[in-house]
Structure 1
Amino acid sequence: MAEASKGLITTNIQSPAHSVKNREDAIPTGWKYKRLKLGPITLPWYASPKSQLILVSFVCFLCPGMYNAFNGFGASEQLSPYASSASNSAIYATFAVAGFFAGPVTNTIGIKNAVSFGSLGYCVYVSSLLHYNFSHEIGYNVFAGLLLGCCAGILWSAQGAIMMSYPPEKLKGRFISWFWIIFNLGCVIGSLVELALNINMSANATLRSSIYVGFLGITFLGACLSWTLVDAKHVVRYDGSRVILMKHPTWKTETIGLWETIWSDPYIILLFPMFFTSNWFYTYQFNDVNLTQFNTRTRALNNTLFWLAQMFGALIFGMGLDFPNTRRTTRAKVAWVVMFVLTFTVWGGGYVFQRKYTREDTALMDHFVYDWTSDGYVGPMFLYICYGFYDAAWQTCVYWFMGAITNNSRKLANFAGFYKGIQSAGAAVIWYLDGFDSPRPYMSLFASCWILLAGSLVTALPVILLKIKDTVPLEEDLKFTDETVEDVIGHKVIYDSPEQDKV
């Protein structure tokens, strides 16, 4: 094994995310690194990747997760059509731009501060809906939409960096699935509330202000929880290795770093179609399938099953992507093949269902809609469950592909920003095509989903075949940073005092 003092490692240790020999002297002795035992259970230390992943998962559960739940049972339906369009346009537009450029912001202010700032936008947005209940003025809603777009872009960039750069290489799939399961609990809760409100086919009453106040408190709690995260420089893995990041980032270095990421890793552009498509199909599934083909209480049931399927899909794919005793390159190829087969299987079933109705049919007063007691409901229900499972599989694979390319937190924050920004741009486009002056036919929107999904898998194949390796060499990860091998693997003496912290 190469000595740390001799420079870059050239033999056994290739990546800070790889398992290395335990070094007790590389683990700090402060409270953040003490294990807590609860009976037979030993909890991970506070500044470990697992603890930080769980914390950011609950921040996202309480903020964007509750935002999804809030909207899931019609909390924003009291907005006028004009106010709703203005607010949603503000969110999508700023999210797309802010998301793409969120990486430099996250790297400059730090992951903890980025999560804290990003989570605030959600409670401000909920407060704007409460304000509209009394004033019916849209100015604050538009402002809140603009702020939420900016905040969400930064939050998801920081979250992506935590999820992809903190874990060791062999656990990245599981970290992604754990996050996705906790986050989607919010959507499940929203769907269950909607189901409870409509289970007896009663009309949805106007939501009381107390519900808005309750959700405002929940999202504010999530924003407060974000301050319990630790800075990335204090996160230590069980083998003593640390996260790769810039020690002294500035706005200038990180803005340049954004373009360096594209310049040094141009292959990431081949993943952009997958990014663009990752939320494209939501509009079709929610508006053109669930909304038009099912009555109110059955839509609520479908939503519950959809998000539960997401949790199950994330668990299956997260575990599969970390399958032990199998080379990572092999797992990446198998994941691509499985996604390709699923794309044609699930969306092939969707084609059969879509042939049964058109946009003109749904405009008729006597248009048939399914209830869960209707004959023939089981097939469409199963299709909708498959849509949820497929979505989780897609998101999990995209994150895992990015995380398999590099372990560098700086680069992964940029990747996550690209992902969310381009994803939001795609969502804005399909939202426009489905809902404005001349909505496109349902079959055209369906075809766009299927074609984009299959086509983006084809464009991503060269990245999967050529850029994903069994492990990422440390030399490659340390490019464009001022970290050293000793820093990220923990050979240096680590001091407890922040003033003396040399790492």
Structure 2
Amino acid sequence: MIRLNYYNALTQVIIVGFVCFLCPGMFNAVNGLGAGGQLDASASNNANTALYSTFVVFGVMGGAFVNLCGVRYTIFCSGFAYALYSGSYLFLNHHPDNSSFSIAAGALLGVGAGILWAAQGMIMTSYPREEEKAKYIAVFWVIFNLGGMLGGILPFAINYHKDSGSNADGVYIAFVVLECLGACLGLALAPPSKVVRDDGSSVMLVKYTNVWREALEVVKLFFNPMMLGLLPMCFTSNFFYTYQFNHLNAGLFNLRTRGFNNMFYWGFQMLGAYLFSLLLDNSKFSRRKRGLIAFGIVFLFFNSIWGGSLALRLKYPKDRLPADRWDFKDSKNAAGPMILYMICGVADALYQSLAYWIIGALSNDNQKLSRYAGFYKGIQSFGAAIAWQLDVKVTPRNQLIANWVLFGASIPPMLFVIWFLKDHSEDIPKPSDASDEAYEEKTTA
């Protein structure tokens, strides 16, 4: 029986879930509208390229920042970068020819997001016991994607009588307010040194760190066979967003229907993450067997969505889209592509859940897992930066093919990592001369 209290590990995962519900969740909602909810995608593409370019660096380095500064203040400061980014689209509504603010806000968000996701990844993968890591990932994913779901409801309701153009100001104002609340919620997190699991064990494996040690550990990530094996999976894991958001959702549907679709895209993510956790935490199978079964499911889902996307794309010679974007009430034309977009949401949840589960299976050490999570998000952002810029220069059909090829290329190294997973992660004992109070003082200074 789970007992929730403030210092319980699950409570802390729930809190960071709501932080991401309000910050990255709203960001996902903006991007999920396609072109950031704007009529012209160029500003959004350039802003996202800037975002993911800085995210590459600060994602990989994010674990070092978290280990040196602690989770509360890094999340608090990082959260406001999301509000600045959403606010830049409000500015763009009134100055459509000036995208420099959105590009600068995107670059700053890359800094904040890299650090925030490293902290989130550390909490989500190191706080639970080994046998319940997938459950904690699912709990986080459900709460986080409630943000994307709410972010679909808001523009759908506000834009209900507006089927073209850019989002109304009220949409962006709502996002800014919610993201500021999310940043402040980061201060509600307890110091890791005080957090305990259900069995009474401490989540914190105390080890003192410094700038030079963190720099060395970040460099060592690029010589770690497991991290190198995950590198193609990391690179591919957000690459597909550009095609799905800009060419499936925004390319085929009118403004209000994009929000309607996103309610189900993120809602189906919640369902997918929950169902996947039942497999990944199933102790009847070895960790390797669970990983292989999960890999098989991901393999089938992604080949299905890219096959379906190609069949849909081939209906439009030379990538010419319908003259009038479809509305959700147009069941004859819209139903099939809407279902395909929803299945894309399920596939995304399965892919991300598997990636985090693999990372969590590699260690129980907080500091290692913050670096591993940062590495994952950094390389993921490298792929996303390329994808958003390719959208300016490459046809949608070629983007689709690139996504499918990249997924295929990630399969052999992904299998390599899964094959060498052990049933029990390494666990470093807490040094006898290090106190929680000292660590708390260090990380909250």
- Residue of structure 2 in register with 1:432 after alignment: 389
Aligned partner of 2:216 among 237, 250, 256: 256
Task: Report how far residue 252 of structure 1 moved.
Answer: 1.2
Letter matched to residue 463 of structure 1: V
Equivalent position of 2:417 in the other structure: 463
Q: How far 1:166 moved relative to its partner?
A: 0.6
Q: Does the 8 Å contact 1:261/1:411 carry over to 2?
A: no
Q: Distance in 2 between matches of 1:317 and 1:139?
A: 41
> Match for 1:452 among 406, 430, 441?
406
Alignment of 1:302 with 2:302, yes or no, is no
Q: Which residue number in structure 2 is paired with residue 25 of structure 1?
A: none
Quick check: 61-70 or 396-405, which moved more?
61-70
Query: Counterparts of 2:16 and 2:366 in 1: how far apart (Å)?
Result: 16
Deviation at 1:105, TM superposition (A): 1.1
Q: How big is the shift at 1:57?
A: 0.5
Distance 1:359 1:487 in 2: 68
Q: Does the 8 Å contact 1:69/1:191 carry over to 2?
A: yes
Contact 1:198 1:204 in 2 (8 A): no
Gapped regions of structure 2 (runs ≥ 5)? none
Within the candidate set 293, 300, 306, 1:341 is matched to 300
How far off is 1:379 after superposition?
A: 2.5
Partners of 2:325 and 2:438 in 1: CA distance = 68
For 1:256-310, what per-residue CA distance to the aligned partner results, in whole angstroms no more than 9, with x for missing partners? 12223444x3221111111111111111112222222233343333222211111
Equivalence for 1:402:
359
Q: Deviation per CA, 1:33-83, whole angstroms, max 9, x where unpaired?
A: xxxxxxxx9741211210110010111111111233345558955698775
Give 1:105's aligned amino acid: F
**Is residue 72–residue 190 contact of structure 1 (8 Å, CA) maintained in 2?**
no
Q: Secondary structure at the match of 2:120?
A: helix
2:157 aligned with 1:191, yes or no? no
Q: Summarize the alignment of residues 370-381 of structure 1 with structure 2, pairs less than 5 Å apart.
A: 371-381=328-338
CA gap of 1:216–1:285, structure 2 versus 1, over 3 A, is closer
Alignment root-mean-square deviation, CA: 3.0
Q: Give the conservation status (yes or no) of the 8 Å contact 1:126–1:212.
A: yes
Match of 2:127 in 1: 166
Instruction: Choose from 76, 86, 104 the match for 1:116.
Output: 76
Q: 1:180 to 1:359 in 2, by over 3 A?
A: farther
**Which of 132, 135, 139 is matched with 1:178 structurally?**
139
Encode CA deviations 1:137-156: one digit per residue, 9 max, x unaligned: 66654443222110000000
Tell me the matched-pair count. 440
- Specify the alignment match of 2:425 in structure 1: 472
TM-score after normalising by structure 2: 0.88
Aligned partner of 1:91 in structure 2 is: 51
- 1:203 Cα deviation from its structure 2 partner: 4.3
TM-aligned CA deviation for residue 408 of structure 1 = 1.2
Q: Percent identity?
A: 38
- Over 3 Å counting, the alpha-carbon distance change for 1:359 and 1:289 in structure 2 is farther
Question: Deviations along 1:391-443, whole A, 9 cap, x unmatched?
Answer: 1100100110111111111111111111111111111111122224xx33x33
Deviation per CA, 1:161-219: give whole Å up to 9, x if none: 000011001111011111111111111112122222444564457623x6544433322
Residue 256 of structure 1 aligns to a residue whose secondary structure is helix
CA distance in 2 between counterparts of 1:288 and 1:126 reads 21
Between 125-134 and 405-414, report the one with greater CA deviation.
Answer: 125-134
Residue matched to 1:312: 271
Distance 2:93 2:296 in 1: 50
Task: Output aligned runs, 1:212-223, within 5 Å.
Answer: 212-223=172-183
Greater Rg, structure 1 or structure 2?
1
Q: Which residue of 2 aligns with 1:144?
A: 105
CA displacement at 1:119 relative to structure 2: 1.4
**Shift in alpha-carbon separation, 1:496–1:105, aligned structure 2, 3 A:** closer
Instruction: Give the distance between the partners of 1:121 and 1:339, measured in 2 at CA.
Output: 32
CA 378–415 in structure 1, closer or farther in 2 if over 3 Å, else same: same
Structure 1 residue 247: Cα displacement: 2.9
Which has more helix, going by share of residues? Answer: 2
Paired residue type of 1:443: R
